[in-house]
Amino acid sequence: MVFRSGDKNSLIARLRAATPIFVFAGLLALMQSISTGAVTLLPLETIAVFLLVRTTLRILPWRASIFALRPRSWLYTPLLFALFVRHFVAIFGTESRRVLTARAMCISRNCGRGSLRSLVFALAALFGRTLLRAERFYAAQRLRGLAE
C-alpha cells in the first residue's frame, strides 16, 4: 500500500486518536486473563464497535439529513438530539485540547511538585468552560422555543 505524505499523517493521527480504545481493550483482556485465565472476544468486540460507530458517524451527511426530514417526523427528534450530542462532544474535545495545551505551556515538568494540582485546576477550568457553553446553548434554544 502506497501512502502519500498527507495520507500517512492522517492515518497516524487517526491511530493516535484511537489509542485510548486500544489501551482499554488491552486492559480488558488483561483483567479477563487475570480473573478467569481465558480471554473472550469482548476486547475485539469493543474495538469493532468503536470502529463501526466512528466510521458510521464520519460517513453520515449530518447537516443535509436534518434538513431532509420534516420537523414532525419520528426520526427528526433523535437526529436533532444526535446533532446536539455531536456538537457538544466536539466542543468538549476542543476545550480539553486548549486547556491541556495551556497547562503544558505553563508547567515546567509533568511530574513533581505542583504538577497534579495544576492538572486538577486545568480539569476544573475545562468543566467550568464546558458547562458555561452548554448553559449558553440551552438559553439560546429556550429563547427560540426549542427547549420545552
The pLDDT profile of the chain, 148 residues, written as one tens digit per residue, is 444 445 667 778 777 878 889 999 999 999 999 999 888 999 999 999 988 888 887 887 877 777 887 878 888 888 888 888 888 888 788 888 888 888 888 877 777 777 778 888 888 888 888 888 888 888 887 887 765 5
Q: Give residue limits of the domains in the chain.
A: 1-59, 63-148
Kindly state the DSSP code that residue 48 receives in the 8-state scheme.
H
Instruction: Give this prediction's pTM.
Output: 0.56
Please state, in angstroms and as integers, the Cα–Cα distance from residue 53 to each residue in 49, 57, 59, 60, following that order. Answer: 6, 6, 10, 11
Segment 61-86, tens digit of pLDDT: 877 777 887 878 888 888 888 888 88
